[in-house]
């Protein structure tokens, strides 16, 4: 613990300085008095046993969310105490508002300091010490104290969006957010009921006997197939390190992946996970009710500045997952060599699985291709960007010709794009 003079004591000392011009003896006497007052004030400050500090923090916070942190100070002093409180935050969090809280503690009472933090990036972090500055009763001295605390926190992807999605579902407002209905009837599965034909229905679902009997087109409705496999594969290579706003493109993929897993849970499907870069980073075999496990695993995923090894990842996956599955790959197709590898591996996977490539666009590249040519450098950047986008479009077209489903989406639209494609697969009984 350290003693510090307050601003009030420094001002009093400065005010006494002119006394040296009048009478050095008087000035020394005043200075000595101020020193004695400072010492007396410092001695009256409660010690470590007089103030107890605890901190309450959430164990998990969703990326992009805000959370409240509470620091409680229990005073055992016989008089009111003024305390200034600061807190050491992990690098994955940012404090909103003032960094210092000024608190008056009544005698033998407990008070709480609450502040809001915002998440900056995914990962694990630890709150550090709580720093206290306790004022003396005269306001001349501060006693500085550091209270060691070690409260862990994890910033995970997508949890906020999952909660929001569930709330929208309860309020029947999913369409406002770009989602189709989760619980819907489909073309595959077991027969459920008959209804009148409406525009957009597949003619293959017409029930001709019922149509003839009722004199109006009637279609069959089927329950969606359940207990199927969904395997989410996430490219964590260098292209996914690129920032879109304040987030990496990987973060958008992780959020969409977690929400897809939650929607698959509603349909009682088993969900698995494969994360890879130049090696397999994480694998979770398909299982039902695995959303929490996936959220924990995705919270530890970080993109690396390496080329993704698609052949190794898909070879590993083929050994681990034998049952036909909806294979959802989050990636992008800018680099020509990487694009060729993606097309090749997904085309092979189509022999056993139903592959869906989720290509997350690069807004900076699209902006470069749309630039107005003003000088030679701009012309060059625009031409290079257009060439990359053309190669990307060609790779997506090649995958579609090979029987691969494609969702070409902006980062911010990845969640509804992926969920809607999954629901379309379920509705049409494609698995």
Q: Could you report the per-residue pLDDT of 398-411, keeping only the tens digit for each? A: 888 888 899 999 98
**Which pLDDT does position 159 carry in this prediction?**
67
Mean pLDDT of 38-58: 88
What's the whole-number mean pLDDT along residues 141-150? 89
Distance CA 130, CA 148 (A): 7
Give the pLDDT of residue 178.
Answer: 52
Q: CA-based angle 198:202:205, to the nearest 5? A: 95
Residues of the chain above pLDDT 70, percent: 88
Quote the pLDDT of residue 340. 80
143 or 64, which is more confident?
143
**Residue 138 Ramachandran class (φ > 0 left, ψ -120 to 50 alpha, else beta):** alpha
Pick the range with the lowest mean pLDDT from 75-89, 155-169, 306-320.
155-169
Per-residue pLDDT, 203: 74
Give the range among 32-46, 307-321, 368-382 with minimum mean pLDDT.
Answer: 368-382
Domains of the chain: 1-156 (2.60.40.10), 159-183+226-428 (3.40.50.410), 192-222 (no CATH)
Mean of pLDDT values over 229-241: 93
> Mean pLDDT, the chain, as a whole number?
85
Is the pLDDT reported for residue 223 higher than 60? Answer: no
The whole-number average pLDDT for the span 46-51 is 81
Task: Output the DSSP codes for 198-257.
Answer: -TT--GGGB-HHHHHHHTS-EEEEEPPP-S-EEEEEEE-SGGGG-EETTEEHHHHHHHHH
Mapped onto helix, strand or coil, the DSSP state of residue 390 is helix
The pLDDT > 90 percentage for the chain reads: 34
* Closest listed residue to residue 408, CA positions, set 421, 423, 424: 421
24 pLDDT higher than 90: no
**pLDDT confidence band for 365 (50 / 70 / 90):** confident
The band of 325, judged by pLDDT with boundaries at 50, 70 and 90, is very high
Does residue 166 carry a pLDDT above 50? yes
Q: What average pLDDT does the segment 77-90 reach?
A: 92
User: Considering only 53-57, 130-134, 182-186, which range has the smallest mean pLDDT?
Assistant: 182-186
How far are the Cα atoms of 64, 94, 382 from residue 121, in angstroms, in the given order? Answer: 8, 10, 32
d(CA 145, CA 262): 46
Q: What span, in angstroms and rounded, lies between the C-alpha atoms of 9 and 38?
A: 8
Identify the pLDDT of residue 315.
94
Rounded to an integer, the average pLDDT of 130-146 is 92
């Amino acid at each position: 613990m350290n003693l510090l003079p307050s601003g009030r004591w420094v001002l009093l000392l400065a005010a006494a300085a002119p006394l040296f011009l009048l009478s050095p003896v008087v000035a020394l006497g005043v200075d000595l008095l101020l020193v004695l007052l400072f010492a007396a004030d410092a001695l009256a400050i409660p010690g470590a046993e007089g103030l107890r500090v605890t901190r309450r923090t959430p164990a998990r916070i969703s990326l992009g969310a805000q959370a409240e942190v509470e620091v409680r100070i229990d005073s055992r002093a016989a008089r009111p105490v003024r305390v200034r409180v600061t807190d050491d935050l992990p690098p994955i969090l940012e404090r909103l508002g003032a960094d210092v809280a000024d608190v008056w503690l009544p005698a033998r009472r407990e008070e709480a300091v609450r502040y809001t933090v915002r998440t900056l990036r995914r990962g694990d972090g630890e709150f550090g010490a709580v720093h206290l500055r306790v004022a003396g009763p005269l306001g001349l001295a501060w006693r500085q104290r550091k209270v060691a605390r070690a409260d862990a926190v994890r910033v995970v992807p997508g949890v906020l969006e999952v909660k929001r999605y569930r709330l929208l579902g309860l309020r029947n407002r999913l369409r406002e957010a770009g989602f189709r209905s989760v619980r819907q009837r489909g073309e595959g599965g077991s027969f459920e009921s008959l209804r009148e034909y409406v525009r957009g229905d597949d003619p293959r679902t017409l029930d001709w006997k019922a149509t003839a009997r009722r004199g109006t087109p009637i279609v069959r409705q089927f329950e969606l197939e359940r207990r199927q496999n969904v395997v989410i594969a996430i490219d964590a290579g260098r292209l996914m390190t690129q920032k879109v706003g304040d987030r990496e493109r990987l973060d958008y993929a992780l959020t969409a992946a977690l929400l897809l897993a939650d929607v698959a849970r509603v349909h009682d499907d088993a969900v698995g996970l494969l994360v890879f870069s130049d090696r397999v980073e994480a694998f979770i075999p398909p299982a039902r009710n695995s959303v929490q496990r996936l959220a924990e695993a995705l919270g530890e995923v970080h993109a690396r500045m390496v080329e993704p090894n698609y052949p190794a990842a898909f070879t590993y996956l083929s050994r681990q997952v034998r049952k036909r599955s909806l294979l959802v790959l989050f990636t992008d197709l800018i680099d020509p060599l990487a694009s060729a590898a993606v097309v090749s591996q997904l085309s092979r996977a189509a022999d056993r699985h139903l592959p869906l490539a989720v290509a997350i666009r690069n807004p900076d590249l699209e902006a470069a291709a749309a630039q107005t040519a003003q000088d030679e450098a701009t012309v060059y950047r625009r031409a290079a960007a257009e060439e990359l986008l053309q190669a990307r479009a060609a790779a997506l077209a090649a995958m579609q010709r090979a029987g691969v489903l494609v969702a070409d989406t902006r980062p911010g639209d990845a969640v509804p794009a992926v969920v809607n494609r999954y629901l379309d697969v379920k509705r049409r009984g494609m698995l």
